[in-house]
Amino acid sequence: MRYAILSDIHGNYEAFTAVLKAVDGMDIDDVVCLGDVVGYGANPNEVVELARTRVRVTILGNHDQAAVDPAEEAHFNSWAVQAIRWTRDRLTADSLDYLRSLAYESLLPDVRFVHASPSEPEKWRYILSPQAAAREFSTFEESFCFIGHSHVPMIVLRTEVGTSELLDGEVALPAGARVLINVGSVGQPRNGDPRASFAVLDLEDRSAHLVQVPYDVDAARAKIVEAGLPRFLGDRLLLGQ
Ligand code: ZN
């Protein structure tokens, strides 16, 4: 089985459709989404609708949770609060039902999917360094753990020798090794590369790699500005920051 693992689409329809088009050409069996389907971008309902038809399993993200529960805004900065209120005001009943149905984590045999951290999925903690990732390995048992949330791709390998970050965007798992992979963000990358990021997992050969796909950033940015969302949320797409 080959999986495409997406995260942090954030209502960016242009990025999501570009990624799905790439996935269509990649011999993928199923698509998984690690959450934050909405928030920041101008097309929350369109993205939910597409996720409903194209994504096999979607995990709950903190923005999805805040979209259905205003109390969760307390953890957000002012741009995120403005965007999530804008989003909540526009979500249809069907979209809200979909977001309410999402769970904190999901498992395949030997694979864990979670939005933020495997140790405390409901706390929305960020794993921003290989050192922080290293501390997570004692909190899950699977060989593969996929996360999102930071919008920055990262692959951290754990072997009997130790823990190390792999910088070339791919891993073939040696026997006995385990890996934690941040797949990056489809709709609002923050690693300095404006392209949409996701991961491909091949369970037969126990390998995974990161993929970057260009999309129409200008169109997504223009929609954000026209919608009256904070201009910064559009501008940051141009830089991938
Ligand atoms: Zn996010």
Pair 224, 41: CB distance under 8 Å: yes
pLDDT classification of 176: cutoffs 50, 70, 90: very high
Which CATH number is associated with domain 2-239? 3.60.21.10
% of the chain with per-residue pLDDT over 90? 100
Could you give the percent of the chain with pLDDT greater than 70?
Answer: 100
Alpha carbon of 81 to ligand 1 centroid (Å): 13
Closest CA to 83 of 34, 48, 41: 41
Q: Given pLDDT bands bounded at 50, 70 and 90, which one contains residue 184?
A: very high
Ligand 1 centroid vs 32 CA: distance in angstroms?
15
The Å distance, Cα 141 to ligand 1 centre, comes to: 25
CA–CA dist 10, 38 (Å, integer): 4
pLDDT at 48: 98
- Tens of pLDDT along 19-44? 999 999 999 999 999 999 999 999 99
Q: Map out the domains of the chain as residue ranges.
A: 2-239
Gap between the Cα atoms of 23 and 16, Å rounded: 10
27 CB burial (10 A radius; 0-12, 13-18, 19+): exposed
